[in-house]
Amino acid sequence: MKIVFLDQHSIGKDEINFCALRKLGTACRFYSETANNQVAERIANADIVIVNKVNLDAHQLQNAKHLKLVCIAATGTNNIDLAAAKKAKVQVCNIRNYATPSVVQHVFGLIFTLASRLQEHYSATRHGDWEKANQFCMLDYPYSELAGKTMGIIGYGTLGRAVAKATGCFDIKTLVANRPGDLKLKKNRVALEDTISDSDIITLHCPLAENTRQLVNRQFLQAMKPSAFLINTARGGLINEGDLAEALKNREIAGAGLDVLIKEPPDSQNILLNSNLKNLLITPHVAWASIESRQRLVDQLVVNINSYISGDLDNRLI
């Protein structure tokens, strides 16, 4: 089999072991990255194409005459024209449930940094404020414990459940929000509006869809406690960035920790990146990306391709 990986470096370089993946094909070509105008040529003779973030459109899929399988090296499928793949009789599979420990760790990393005001404490130490203090404990940045607080979880799939499980270590109460737009209250769920108003921390784990796009807007933020934190490791489009910037600036909420933005990579004019807000943390879409998580992703690619060879494709989408 001829296997082509179009964007290997979007998964990793020397820190990830790709040996087992390379051994699956008689002719493997791993490209560090691939521009859109290079795709057609690179997949022309491939039996299997692996992509993480590269787009495959109808024209490219239909003209890859040898192509039998597309392995998406991610869970999301928005970069593949699935209808065109089906029409071209190309099977498609993805990766599932590989990043849970990494995402949970990142969620709590954002929460701890905000709740314990670690940025301010670190900055004070680095810039010599502690050296000038009158006593050996600097109490300039008061903070509260997480114990006894309430976390609202919006989106209760694999990641939402894993975050809920971890809250027990810190004596945090959890509220699981009813699905946005769902008028019937499900068992063991809390109405969305009550989740928003009653939570000290709100963490988003829902997909981006019509009922969740810009879910966090002016109305949502005004309903939150002024002392509450907002965490988003899901999709940037869940938040109206202008409304969030305004709420943080006016201290309508205590802070926010984001790993995703609407446009990625962001441009230099992004309102949140240019806000200089001390109560905002932004990380560059890395919640999923621990070394262990990315290795699990590659290992699952191997399993998927072996399952295709045996005639029973794992994680099949088409």
Helix (H, G, I), strand (E, B) or coil at 190: strand
235 catalytic, yes or no?
Answer: yes
66 catalytic, yes or no?
Answer: no
Q: Are 110 and 259 in contact (CB under 8 A)?
A: yes
Distance CA 211, CA 33 (A): 34
Q: Are 179 and 207 in contact (CB under 8 A)?
A: no
Distance CA 287, CA 109 (A): 10
285 catalytic, yes or no?
Answer: yes
Distance CA 88, CA 210 (A): 29
User: From the candidates 235, 241, 294, 296, which is the catalytic residue?
Assistant: 235
Distance CA 221, CA 218 (A): 5
The residue whose two tokens read 């890395």 is 286
Other beta carbons less than 10 A from residue 104's beta carbon = 19
Q: Are 231 and 280 in contact (CB under 8 A)?
A: no
User: From the candidates 121, 179, 285, 316, which is the catalytic residue?
Assistant: 285
Q: What is the 3-state secondary structure (H, E, C) of 98-123?
A: CCHHHHHHHHHHHHHHHHCCHHHHHH
CA 44-47-50 angle, to 5 degrees, is: 90
The token pair at 216 is: 């966090």
The token pair at 71 is: 């392995």
Residues designated as active site:
235, 264, 285
